[in-house]
Homo-oligomer: A and B are copies of this chain.
Amino acid sequence: MTAATSAPADPHGPAAGPRRRAGRPAAAVLDQNGITVAALQLIGKSGYDGFTMAALARTLNVAPSALYNHVSSKRDVLVLVQDHLTSFVDVTAFAAGDWEQAVRDWAWSYRDVFSKHTPLIPVIAVLPVADAPKTLAMYEAVSAGFSRAGFPQERIVPAIVAIESFIFGSAYDVTAPADIFDSGTMAASTPHFTAAVQRLAEEGHDKPADVAFRLGLEALLAGLGALRAA
């Protein structure tokens, strides 16, 4: 359905073979990769509010409608951006030996990448992997690491999904306002919660989102690591 889907499978990177049937016009001003890069730049400069098809077309010196020759919807552009971002997620540690440390590195970098792009989370979370080749490549690296670490085959996907779910939720946390737990006028009626918030504020020097992420990730690592073969 999406342009990302309808694009021909491209196992050897963006520069596909020149297989065309008929006369072809001049080198196109636009292509999916150019749109993706321009979109990412625009989002970086204007945020997701300023990211409109008109603004994207403007940065490419093109009419808005021209985009629809290469992309079937705005959501399609977001899918392309999302997949591109995924290539910035660090999976290198899965090539080495230490499963725990590899998951740690992967999870932190994954969270960091998407905490700057939370509007993409509703897209990525339900996107078929076939529509996102770089995301699929990430899954391959991660599941290879799980497999080598002695994870039972039938638990690999659920374990990855569980960690990923935690990552997505945690990415939102990073963007939450600092006073999100301030009870305001209702503090008196919520003594336990208010006390807990207070104690955390006294104690903590790291950012609250990082404290929670570390705590949850280490718990997951401990709990999931127990599934590995001895």
A sample of 7 cross-chain residue pairs with beta-carbon separation below 8 angstroms, ordered by A number, consists of: A130-B184, A130-B185, A136-B186, A153-B196, A162-B166, A162-B212, A164-B169
Number of interface residues of A (CB under 8 A): 80
Closest to A124 in B: B172
Tell me whether A203 and B166 are in contact (CB under 8 A). no
- Tell me the bound Cα distance from A209 to B142 in angstroms: 19
Tell me whether A125 and B169 are in contact (CB under 8 A). yes
6 pairs of A and B residues whose beta carbons are closest in the complex: A219-B223, A162-B216, A165-B169, A130-B184, A125-B172, A168-B169
Instruction: In the complex, identify which listed stretch (A33-41, A56-64, A173-181) lies at the interface while the others stay far away.
Output: A173-181
Residue A11 at the B interface, CB < 8 A? yes
Residue A68 at the B interface, CB < 8 A? no
Tell me whether B199 and A130 are in contact (CB under 8 A). no
Tell me whether A125 and B196 are in contact (CB under 8 A). no
Residues of chain B within 8 A of A172, CB atoms compared: 121-122, 125-126, 165, 168
> What distance in Å separates the Cβ of A8 from its nearest Cβ neighbour in chain B?
9
> What distance in Å separates the Cβ of A5 from its nearest Cβ neighbour in chain B?
9
Tell me whether A129 and B176 are in contact (CB under 8 A). no
- Tell me the bound Cα distance from A180 to B137 in angstroms: 15
Residue-wise interface mask of A (195-207) relative to B, using a CB-CB cutoff of 8 A (1 in contact, 0 not):
1110110111000
> What distance in Å separates the Cβ of A112 from its nearest Cβ neighbour in chain B?
15
**Apart from A125-B173, A164-B169: 14 A-B pairs, beta carbons within 8 A:** A125-B169, A126-B176, A126-B180, A128-B180, A136-B183, A139-B193, A142-B193, A146-B196, A157-B200, A158-B208, A161-B212, A162-B213, A168-B168, A221-B223
